[in-house]
Structure formats: C-alpha cells, structure tokens
C-alpha cells in the first residue's frame, strides 16, 4: 500500500451548535478482581442524558488517551460522541474511560503495571472487573441500560484485544466491539483467537477492526498478519464485522481519523439488536451440527445440582438431582416429573440393553440397576463411582475419580479395576461402535481412548481427544459426554460443549446456555435429535441436525474424515 495522510475530520472537531457532554474524573482502588490496584477513570455524560431514560454505555480502555480532547489527542472520543449523539447517529451513550491498574510498591519498591495482565489475558477477569465493579459504580450516579444491545467496548492495541475478550466472554452484557491496531498476537496467548472463532458457535457480537500494514512485527508476532487472520476467521464464522486496512504503523493516526465512521458503523440500525449471524453458512461445523436459529431452551430449573442424563428406548430423558436424592424424568411431552426418591446420592445414569436404569449410587458406595417398576438390584458394593457406561452385553464400566480408577463389571457381576493413573477420570462413554472406551480427565485437556478387549480389559491407551481450555485454568473441566451417529463426541467443558470428530479434533464448540458449569449431556427425544445438558440447578435442550444413538446399541460408523 502507498502511505496515506490521515487527518482528523470535522466530526473530531468542536462544531457550532453541538452541546458538549460533561467529563468527570474518578479513582477506583477497591477492586476484588485485581486486588491492591488503583486506577483513574473518567465518565462522559452527554448533554442529552436524562435520568428518566436508561442510557447506552461504551467503555474505552487506556482511558486517559481516549478521553483527551486537546490538540495532541489522536482520538478525541468525547468530541466525536458529542457530534454523533447530537445528530442521532448513535444513541445517548455514557462513556467510561478506564486506565489500566497499577499496584503501588511497598517501602519504596517500584509499582507493578497491570496493563498487559489485564488487557492481553484471554479469560473473563477483566469482564468481571467491568461488570461487577466499574459498571455498578457508574450506576450509582447514572441510569444505565440493562440491555446488552446497548453496550459497546473499544480500545487500542492491547486495549483492543481486551475489548474483544470482554465481549467474547460476556456477550450477555457487551455486543459491540471497536478494535484499533488490536494485539491479537502471542503476548499472552491472543494468537489463538482466529482458531477459536472458527471452532466456536457464533456469538451475538458486532466487530469493527482496523490495522495498518506497517504495524508491529516483533517477538510475539505480526500485528498486521494477526488482524488479517482475525478478519478471515470472522468472515468464515459469519460474523457481522468490518475490517478497514491502512498504511500506518502502531499508532492512532488512521484509527483517530476513521473513529466517527467506525462508531456510526458499530451503532448502525440502532435500536435493532445485534444478533448471532449465520452468514458463514455450511462451512462452520456448528452450523452443520445444530439447527440455525434455534438456541438453547430451558427445560426446567430449581434443583440443587443436576447430573447424569440418560435416554431410554422411547427417547425420554432421566436425570439426577444429587443433593436432593431424586431422579427426574423428562417425558416426550416435555413435562418433568419425579421418577424416584431416596436414590442414595445417585450420580451417573445409563440405560442398558435390558431396559433397566443403571446408576452410580455414591452415598451407599454401590452400583445398582432399577427396572421401570422401581425394583432395585445391587450389582457391586464398596466402590466409589461417578459416571457409568453399559455395553450391549450388559457389562459395565464406571469411573472412580478420587481413587483415579476405571472399573469393569462383567456379566457375572465380578468387578475389577481395568485402569489406574488418570488425574481425575470423570465422564465415561463407549464409542458409537463400542470398540473403544472414552474417559475424560477433568484435570487436563485430554479425553483418553482405550481399546476394549474381549474380556473387558483395556489396551492401547492414548490421550486422544485434545480439548480447548480457558485462560485461567489449564484444566478443561471436562465432565459428561455423549456421541452421535456420525461417531462425533460431545464433551461438556468450561468453555461449552466441545464437539470432536473421530480423529480426536475439536471441530466445534457450542456456547453454554448460561455462565455456570455444564455437568453432562445426552441426545434424547423420539428421534434422538435433541441435545440435553445438565447445568447446575437447570436442564437445557436444543434442536440438532445430528442424531444420537441408543448407548447400549453399537452403531456402524461412516469412515472418519481424515
């Protein structure tokens, strides 16, 4: 590209007849998310703000630079907001300009600068800082909207990837992202975003990207290439985004010049909500697997902790409420009823080929099976257990996480340990064709694959399925699993339901239906085309394009997509 001269336009200048908003400076030094830090922040309130009407909100990182309206200011955000709000090209918006935190040193020691830790990290810390600490402070004085469509966040360089990270983790609060010369490189792992965008079910986020072809090229990567990778990934996944390319280096000459147009694009069609887009079409695995336009639906709530969903021949789903010692049934009409009381802490459930419901009975340290009329048979005693799988021959595998063991019960009800040593063996399932046993280790990123031998023993162990993990924790939190008729494995994890193909690769991540943990999953319904997940005190479902299998019936699988 040829170098271009980027000058600030009229919307970055004071204009006659445009009322000026008010900017006030504040200090925040009581963070629990970033303990011990102190920082300045500024609140911009437009002249059109009325306490009787909730205002939209836009957050800017590196607040001192963004709020600067002097001749040296490259952004002059308050002036731009004045002009656009005056003309109705964006809603009445309260701006919050926040500096990164610093940790004062003790006894003359140097301060610790928190900027990279807060901005370049990929987890939800900074989102929690904004949502739980800064926004409530602003809400003490101003009437802030509670609609995520009314929230935008922007930044420059590391502040830009921070803005994207906030919306990526919490689209239930922030849905518009403004990114100038974003640091999507490996400063603290941000280079993974293009891959995650391609795998993860699209989120309801609108993104404006800008970068220049002379941007940084240093030890952590190339900013110019990283922003292009972001743009290609967003296009592939079908996001509503815009990428404006320039000729500048790592500065805001270009970004400042196009800021008014960027904000107008970001808020275009307001108040029409920002919604999840499926423009990526069939290329995105999440589109191939799920029914577009149909998200998670709440089945029921109000439990203490749901687990162990299992499907019977009719497609009805049974699940446990462990602390309440109950098993519930979801009928084909969607009604939820209590199927059994006093379950002795039943956790994992699975139907077998004989139509009985098999269970890990934690409190009594037993494995049991119930007929549908409630008759109970004890299959093994004096064993800890968590999750269970039942073969076509009625043989049983179950995990005992605390003892780090996998157990087997043969047809003669003889039990033995068939594997030891995983850090925390949790969910256990048979592969769709019953040739392999799959065990998720919650304390790392692996689902192990074992080849089942004729006598039930396990051989040829491999950490086969590699799961994605969060930034804050190297443990996937993998818990329950289910499989579909194509041989794909669905694993409930901290980041969502991770879908793996037969060769062991995560090809899609379904967003969680809530911000809490997911414990388990199963295909149910009369056609086995509804995915159910247990999640804390709730159970959710969603329509799928894929179909499950009856876990006790081996399925013939198509050839793997190598």
Among 448, 482, 516, which residue terminates a domain? 482
Instruction: Tell me how far apart the alpha carbons of residues 534 and 24 are, in angstroms, rounded to a whole number.
Output: 46
Q: Per-residue pLDDT averaged across 410-435, rounded? A: 97
Residue 74 forms part of a structural domain: yes
The residue assigned the tokens 């703000």 is: 49
Instruction: Tell me how far apart the alpha carbons of residues 228 and 222 are, in angstroms, rounded to a whole number.
Output: 10
Same domain flag for 461 and 339: yes
**Cis amide leading into 296 (omega within 30):** no
pLDDT at 264: 98
pLDDT at 71: 79
Instruction: Tell me how far apart the alpha carbons of residues 419 and 179 are, in angstroms, rounded to a whole number.
Output: 49
Pairing of strands 93-98, 102-103: unpaired
The tens digit of pLDDT for each residue in 73-115 reads 889 999 999 999 999 999 999 999 999 999 998 887 889 999 9
The residue assigned the tokens 């699988």 is: 557
Give the phi and the psi of residue 400 in degrees, each rounded to 5. -130, 90
Residue 518 forms part of a structural domain: no
Residue 444 forms part of a structural domain: yes
Same domain flag for 264 and 358: no
Cβ neighbours for 225, distance < 8 A, ≥ 6 positions apart: none
Same domain flag for 153 and 265: yes
CB of 436 closer than 8 Å to CB of 452: yes
CB of 447 closer than 8 Å to CB of 489: yes
Residue 299 forms part of a structural domain: no
Domain count, the chain: 2
Residue 47 forms part of a structural domain: yes
Same domain flag for 265 and 315: no
The tens digit of pLDDT for each residue in 113-123 reads 999 999 999 99
Q: Per-residue pLDDT averaged across 412-417, rounded? A: 96
For residue 436, give the CATH number of its domain. Answer: 2.120.10.30
pLDDT at 279: 62
Residue 70 forms part of a structural domain: yes
Same domain flag for 357 and 403: yes
pLDDT at 287: 82
Instruction: Tell me how far apart the alpha carbons of residues 158 and 119 are, in angstroms, rounded to a whole number.
Output: 6
Confidence of residue 27 (pLDDT cuts 50, 70, 90): very high
Q: Per-residue pLDDT averaged across 531-540, rounded? A: 98
Residue 2 has pLDDT above 70, yes or no: no
Tell me the percentage of the chain whose pLDDT exceeds 90: 91
Confidence of residue 281 (pLDDT cuts 50, 70, 90): low
Instruction: Tell me how far apart the alpha carbons of residues 303 and 307 are, in angstroms, rounded to a whole number.
Output: 10
Among 73, 91, 72, CA closest to 147: 91
Same domain flag for 323 and 261: no
Residue 285 forms part of a structural domain: no
Same domain flag for 51 and 136: yes
Residue 277 has pLDDT above 80, yes or no: no
Q: Per-residue pLDDT averaged across 147-175, rounded? A: 98
pTM of the model as a whole: 0.93
Q: Per-residue pLDDT averaged across 372-381, rounded? A: 96
Cβ neighbours for 76, distance < 8 A, ≥ 6 positions apart: 8, 12, 68, 69, 256, 259
The residue assigned the tokens 């079409």 is: 281
Same domain flag for 264 and 333: no
The tens digit of pLDDT for each residue in 469-527 reads 988 888 999 999 999 999 999 999 999 999 999 999 999 999 999 999 999 999 999 99
Residue 1 has pLDDT above 60, yes or no: no
Count of other CB atoms within 10 angstroms of residue 191: 17
pLDDT at 288: 86
Q: Hey, what are 193's tokens?
A: 């975003």
Residue 180 forms part of a structural domain: yes
Distances (CA, A) of 290 to 59, 79, 481, 514, 547: 33, 45, 17, 18, 10
Q: Per-residue pLDDT averaged across 453-457, rounded? A: 98
CB of 142 closer than 8 Å to CB of 45: yes
Same domain flag for 348 and 464: yes
Got the DSSP string for 167-210? HHH-TTT--EEEEES---STTTTGGGHHHHHHHBPP-S-EEEEE
Give the residue numbers spanning the domain of 118. 10-272
Same domain flag for 165 and 259: yes
Among 497, 463, 471, CA closest to 483: 497
For residue 243, give the CATH number of its domain. Answer: 3.40.50.1820
Same domain flag for 157 and 20: yes
Same domain flag for 78 and 142: yes
pLDDT at 120: 98
Among 436, 465, 482, which residue terminates a domain? 482
pLDDT at 106: 86
Among 456, 482, 508, which residue terminates a domain? 482
């Amino acid at each position: 590209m040829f170098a271009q001269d980027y000058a600030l336009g009229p919307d970055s200048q004071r204009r006659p007849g445009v009322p000026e908003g008010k900017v006030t400076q504040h200090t925040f030094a009581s963070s629990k998310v970033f303990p011990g830090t102190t920082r300045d922040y500024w609140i911009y309130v437009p002249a059109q703000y009325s306490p009787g009407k909730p205002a939209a909100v836009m957050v800017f990182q590196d607040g001192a630079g963004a709020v600067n309206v002097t001749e040296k200011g490259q952004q002059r955000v308050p002036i731009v907001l004045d002009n656009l709000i005056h003309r109705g090209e964006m809603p009445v918006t309260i701006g919050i300009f926040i500096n990164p935190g610093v940790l004062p040193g003790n006894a003359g020691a140097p301060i610790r600068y928190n900027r990279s830790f807060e901005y370049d990290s990929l987890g939800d810390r900074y989102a929690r800082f904004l949502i739980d600490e800064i926004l409530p402070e602003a809400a003490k004085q101003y009437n802030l909207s509670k609609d995520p469509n009314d929230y935008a966040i922007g930044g420059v360089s590391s502040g830009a990837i921070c803005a994207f990270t906030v919306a990526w983790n919490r689209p239930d609060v922030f849905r518009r992202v403004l990114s100038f010369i974003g640091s999507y490189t490996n400063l603290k792992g941000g280079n993974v975003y293009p891959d995650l965008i391609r795998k993860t079910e699209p989120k309801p986020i609108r993104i404006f990207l800008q970068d220049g072809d002379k941007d940084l090229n240093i030890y952590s990567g190339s900013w110019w290439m990283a922003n292009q990778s972001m743009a290609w990934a967003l296009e592939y996944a079908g996001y509503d985004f815009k990428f404006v390319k320039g000729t500048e280096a790592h500065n805001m000459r270009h970004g400042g010049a196009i800021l008014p147009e960027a904000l107008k694009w970001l808020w275009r069609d307001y108040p029409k909500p920002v919604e999840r887009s499926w423009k990526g079409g069939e290329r995105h695995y999440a589109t191939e697997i799920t029914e577009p336009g149909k998200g998670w639906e709440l089945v029921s709530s109000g439990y203490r902790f749901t687990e162990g969903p299992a499907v019977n021949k009719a497609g009805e789903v049974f699940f446990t409420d462990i602390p309440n010692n109950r098993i519930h049934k979801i009928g084909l009409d969607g009604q939820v009823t209590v199927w059994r009381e006093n379950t002795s802490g039943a956790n994992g459930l699975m139907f077998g080929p004989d139509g009985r419901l098999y269970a890990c009975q934690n409190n009594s340290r037993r494995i049991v099976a119930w007929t549908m009329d409630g008759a109970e048979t004890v299959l093994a005693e004096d064993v800890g257990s968590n999750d269970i799988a039942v073969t076509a021959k009625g043989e049983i595998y179950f995990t005992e996480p605390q003892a780090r063991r996998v157990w087997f019960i043969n047809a003669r009800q003889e039990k033995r340990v068939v594997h030891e040593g995983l850090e925390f063996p949790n969910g256990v399932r048979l592969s769709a064709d019953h040739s392999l046993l799959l065990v998720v280790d919650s304390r790392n990123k692996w689902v192990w694959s074992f080849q089942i031998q004729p006598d039930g023993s396990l051989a040829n162990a491999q950490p086969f399925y590699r799961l994605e993990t969060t930034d804050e924790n190297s443990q996937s939190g993998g818990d329950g699993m289910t499989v579909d008729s194509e041989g794909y494995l669905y694993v409930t994890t901290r980041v969502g339901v991770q879908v793996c193909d037969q060769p062991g690769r995560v090809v899609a991540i379904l967003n969680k239906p809530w911000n809490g943990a997911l414990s388990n999953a199963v295909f149910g319904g009369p056609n086995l085309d509804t995915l159910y997940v247990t999640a804390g005190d709730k159970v959710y479902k969603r329509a799928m394009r894929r179909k499950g299998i009856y876990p006790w019936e081996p399925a013939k699988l198509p050839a793997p997509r190598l």
